[in-house]
Each structure stands twice: as structure tokens, then as C-alpha cells.
Amino acid sequence: MRKFPLNFLWGTATAAYQIEGAARLEGRGPSIWDAFSHIPGKIHDGHTGDVACDHYHRYEEDIALLKDMGVNCYRFSISWSRILPQGRGQVNEKGVAFYNKLIDLLIENDIEPWVTIYHWDLPLALQIEMDGLMNPAIATCFADFARICFARFGDRIRHWITLNEPWCCALLGHGSGDFAPGRESETEPYLVAHNLLRAHAYMVDVYRREFQSTQRGVIGITNNSNWYRPLTDSEEDRAASERALDFTLGWFVEPIYCGCYPQTMRDRIGSKLPEFTEDDRALLRGSSDFFGLNHYSTNLAAEPPSSGIMEKKARIGGGIMGEHGVDLTDDPSWKQTDMGWNIVPWGLRELLCWISTRYGHPPIYVTENGCAMPGEGDREVALNDTGRVEFFKEYLGACHEAIERGADLRGYMSWGMMDNFEWEYGESKRFGLIWVDFENQDRYPKASYHWYSNVCKNNGLED
Ligand code: PNW
């Protein structure tokens, strides 16, 4: 048995728009994802999150499933437009009541709630009235929303995550246009990223000044990153792999740990990259009590051919704008998930060790890791998901090795708890430990649910 440290947190994660449904019920206002998912052609087969897993009505059943799974924490996000239907102003008490019930029931079941304040579902009113994440004033809207969350829920919350994967909002929301609000631009991603970093810093500032001393929780941010392995041992390829990390992870992490964007980004992007004011810099530095990491895959990174022409398709890599100047490829021997993402367990080990060394051994939580597997539209196939069991076994083995090598990894949350609305893929990509019948929202635990349950209960991996 490979045991994990005492008090290791074992959990699973979800996001409001992906599971809640009840999109127009009990006072919830629309978000940019409601608007986007209803535009024909944006989402696979025209799916939307209108109903999703209907978690809003089935949260009791879902918490019972979490309890049986044996997790000691559960990460979910709060739908901003359920709390503030117009994004600001009047609070919707029914929305507050829903999260109160959810949080209380989790705690009654000895499951620690981990709350993500923003998992991409910006209130539509803020998009229309002020151009959403493009407006620098949005940072104050985030802070005001966060203050309401702390005031209403913070007496029971010990772990807050300000933002989930700002990289996705910037590049997929405003670069490629694959995500809401569907903007395609070569300049907007840098402005959006900048505003989100400021929003993060403002939220943390509110928590620390107004709540932390009485509520005694911690607050941080979750970023996503692949690992990038140099294609060859050459100095150029090694520099390219570092650059890929800078453009994915460093973009959002260096400002928090060092107060400014990575040098490689400043060199290559020049004046398109905004600069922080001294005040913002001061708020950003040290603004994450822990390092939240979502990790899904690994690529090979190389210095591009001298022509400088690169494919922009590798969007999960160091950006889609090509400015990183990295050629990203896959090793043909790597197996892939149903998303076409490479399964490379040691990549997580390398990434955890790299983060640990580079940022001074922060406490790290893997707040998402998981896979969609092919054929799972068929329930029989999905319930016997040996591929996913293998995936988790190997990625958790990699976590264990990273801990042995000195990384201060304190928790692991699988993505996701159950099949859900998988953004532009709708219901067609299934990441869950639990299979969901989207006709009637019935739940069926997969083999991986039972396997993961053993890991949680043993606090370790059986050999
Ligand atoms: C994460 N990429 O999204 C999100 O936090 C989840 O909401 C999502 O369901 C999960 O991963 C699985 O996709 C990502 O293209 C979406 O690089 C896209 C990318 C990365 C993460």
C-alpha cells in the first residue's frame, strides 16, 4: 500500500453551470454561458446547461453519493447570477438558501466544502452593460460578489478558490472563441487575463481585510497547466518548454508569486501585455495561500522551425496565439483520452516538482485531474471504465512520487464527480465517476467510483 500523508484531502470537483440546471428557476439570472450555449452551432448537438444534471433539485442524492464514495472534501462553484441575478445589486435569497442547504448538508456528512467563487459563468448583465471581463472595473464587481459569498457562507468555509482557470476565460473565451462569450481576438486575452488577476487580488484583499481573522479560512487561485517536455535535449528545446510553461502557468502565477508577468512573455508580447500599477502589484504579491492546480495532459515542446510558422491548434498548450514561439507535438506512443489529450502520468509528477521548486515549496492542491473515455455514451461501457481506473491509478502514483520528492501536495480532487455539461462538447464527453442518464438524470456509479472510494478510505493506493 502506498500511503498518502496524514490528513490528506481526498475529493472530487464540479462547477455550477455544468451540473446545476434550474437555469431559469427561483430567481436565477442568465449568465454568459446561458446566452452562449443557446447560440446555434456553438455547442455539440445544441446541448445547453438548462437542466444539466439537475443537481439543483438532486443535491441530497448527490451528497449521499459523495458520502458513500468516502471523500473528505468536495469542490463546487457558486453561480454568480443565482446570487446576484443582475450581477450586482439585489441579492436573490433563494439562491443563497440553496448554497446554505448544500454547505450544511456537506458538513453534516463530514465532507469539507471547497468553494470556487468563479467558474466562468459571468452574469450576462455584466457582459452587456460593461463588456464583461474586458472592463477594468469588473475587478470591483468580483470583489463585491465575493464579499457577499464570504458574508453569507464564510462562517462554514475553510477553503476558498477565487477563480478557476483564468487561462481558459482569456484564451478560449476571448482568443479562440470556443467558450463564452465567444470572442475571437489576438489582443483581448491579455486584457482579460490582466483584469482577472486584478479581480483575484481584490477578492483576496476583501477576504483578508474583512473576514479572515474571524472566519479563519484560506484563499487561493486554481490554474490549469499541462506539462511540457522538451522534444530533445537541446538548449533551444529546453528553453521552448520553459516558455510554454511561462505562457500557460507563469502568466497567472508569476504575478502572484513575483509581482509581474514572466520575462519571456514581456519580451515576446511587448506593449500588448498590460502592466500592473504599483497598487495592483502590492495586492497581487503573495495573494494565494495555496497553489491550486488543474492538470490534464502533457505535450512535447520544441523550438519551431526557422520559418517561424506554427500551427495554432494546440490550444491546450502554451497559448493559441503563436506568440509563445513553441512547437507543441505529441509522442505517438502516448495513449489519449476521448478529448484527444495525452495520458502521461509522470508529467504530473514533473509539474508538481517543478512548481514546488520554482515557487518555494507552496502547499499544493490538485483541484482537478481526470479523463473522458470513449464509448461512454453507452451505459454498459461506462460502468466498466477500466481505462479511467488505470488513469487514476497512474496519476495518483505520480502524485505519490512527487510527495516523496518533496512536493507539499496536500489534497487531490478528481474531475469530475459525475458526467456533466462539458462546455462546448455538451453531454458528449463524460469525465464522471458517476454515469448520468441525461434523459432522466438518473445516476449510476462507475467502476472508477468504487475504486476511488477505496483509495479515499485507505488514504492510499493498493499495489
Ligand atoms: C477544465 N483546454 O476545463 C474545467 O475546469 C472543467 O470545468 C472542465 O470540465 C474540465 O477541465 C474538463 O475539460 C478545461 O482546452 C477546458 O486546455 C479546456 C482546457 C483545459 C481545461
**Candidate of 294, 420, 425 to mutate for ligand 1, largest count of ligand atoms within 8 Å of Cβ:** 294
pLDDT for residue 143 is more than 60? yes
For residue 369, the CA-to-ligand 1 centroid distance in Å is 10
pLDDT of 316 strictly over 50: no
Query: For a pLDDT cut of 70, what percent of the chain falls above it?
Result: 97
CA-to-CA distance for 135 and 218, rounded, in angstroms? 28
Q: Give the residue from 373, 239, 222 showing the smallest Cα distance to 291.
A: 222
Pocket of ligand 1 contains residue 15 by CB under 6 Å: yes
- Of the candidates 112, 254, 303, 368, the residue annotated as catalytic is 368
Q: Percentage helix, strand, coil, to 5, in the chain?
A: 45, 15, 40
pLDDT at residue 1 tops 90: yes
Confidence of residue 105 (pLDDT cuts 50, 70, 90): very high
3-state secondary structure of 341: coil
Q: Which three cell numbers mark 168?
A: 481558459
Percent of the chain with pLDDT over 90: 94
**Would you say the C-alpha torsion 382, 386, 389, 395 has a positive or negative sign?**
negative
**Helix locations, 278-378, DSSP H:** 278-284, 345-358
Around Cβ 156, how many Cβ atoms within 10 Å? 16
Q: Based on the residue annotation, tell me whether 368 is a catalytic residue of this protein.
A: yes
Rounded distance, CA 28 to CA 139, Å?
A: 22
User: 346: CA distance to ligand 1 center in Å?
Assistant: 20
> Is the Cβ atom of 315 under 6 angstroms away from ligand 1?
yes
Q: Is 48 in the pocket of ligand 1 (CB under 6 A)?
A: no
Mean pLDDT over 24-35 rounds to 98
Give the model's pLDDT for residue 319: 52
Element (H, E) at 329: strand 327-329
**Whether the CB of 431 sits within 6 Å of ligand 1:** yes
Neighbours of 7 (CB within 10 A): 9
Distance 447 CA to ligand 1 centre (A): 23
Positive or negative, the CA dihedral 423, 429, 435, 441 is positive
Q: Is the pLDDT of residue 31 over 50?
A: yes
Whether ligand 1 lies within 6 angstroms of the CB of 350 is answered as no
Protein residue closest via CA to atom 19 of ligand 1: 316
CA 181 / ligand 1 centre spacing (Å): 16
pTM above 0.95, yes or no: yes
Neighbours of 254 (CB within 10 A): 20
CA distance 463 to 244: 35
- Which residues, other chains included, contact 435 with Cβ-Cβ below 8 Å and sequence gap of 6+? 376, 379, 382, 383, 418, 419, 443, 444, 445, 446
The pLDDT of residue 306: 57
Residue with CA at minimum distance from ligand 1 atom 10: 415
Where do we find the cell 504599483? 278
Q: Considering the chain, what is the average pLDDT of its residues?
A: 95
End-to-end Cα separation, the chain, in angstroms: 6
Q: Which atom of ligand 1 is nearest to the CA of 370?
A: 12
Question: For the purposes of burial, counting CB atoms within 10 Å of the CB of 381, is it exposed (0-12), middle (13-18) or buried (19 or more)?
Answer: middle
This complex has an ipTM of: 0.98
d(C-alpha 439, C-alpha 457), whole Å = 32
Distance of CA 195 to the CA centre of its chain: 18
CA dist., res. 461 & res. 454, Å (int): 8
Question: CA-to-CA distance for 303 and 410, rounded, in angstroms?
Answer: 35
The ligand 1 atom nearest the CA atom of 372: 12
Q: Can you say whether the dihedral through the CA atoms of 10, 295, 139, 121 is positive or negative?
A: negative
Q: CB of 168 closer than 6 A to ligand 1? A: yes
Tell whether the model's pLDDT for residue 459 goes beyond 50.
yes
* Nearest Cα residue to 330 out of 175, 223, 226: 226
Give 168 Cα–ligand 1 centroid separation in angstroms. Answer: 8
Residue 172 CA: nearest ligand 1 atom is 15
**Confidence check: pLDDT of 427 > 80:** yes
Residue 305, all three cell numbers = 522551425
Which residue among 163, 415, 419, 436 has the greatest number of ligand 1 atoms within 8 angstroms of its CB, and so is best to mutate?
415
Of 296, 312, 373, 420, best ligand 1 pocket probe by most atoms within 8 Å of the beta carbon: 296
In angstroms, the CA 393 to CA 31 distance is 37
Q: How far is the CA of 419 from the centre of ligand 1 (A)?
A: 13
What was the pLDDT predicted at 4? 98
Q: Which domains, ranges and CATH numbers included, belong to the chain?
A: 2-461 (3.20.20.80)
**What is residue 321's predicted lDDT score, i.e. its pLDDT?**
64
Q: What is the pLDDT of residues 251-284, one digit of tens each?
A: 999 999 999 999 999 999 999 999 999 999 999 9
**Best of 224, 337, 428 to mutate for ligand 1, by most ligand atoms within 8 A of CB?**
224
Specify binding-site residues for substrate.
Answer: 18, 119, 164, 296, 415, 422-423
Tell me the Cα Rg of the chain: 21
331-369 pLDDT, tens digit per residue, is: 999 999 999 999 999 999 999 999 999 999 999 999 999
Angstrom distance (rounded) from CA 146 to CA 122: 13
Nearest to 205 by CA among 150, 262, 275: 150
Separation of 216 CA from ligand 1 center, angstroms? 30
From the candidates 20, 112, 165, 401, give the one annotated as an active-site residue: 165
Supply the pLDDT for residue 312: 45
Q: Active site includes 242?
A: no
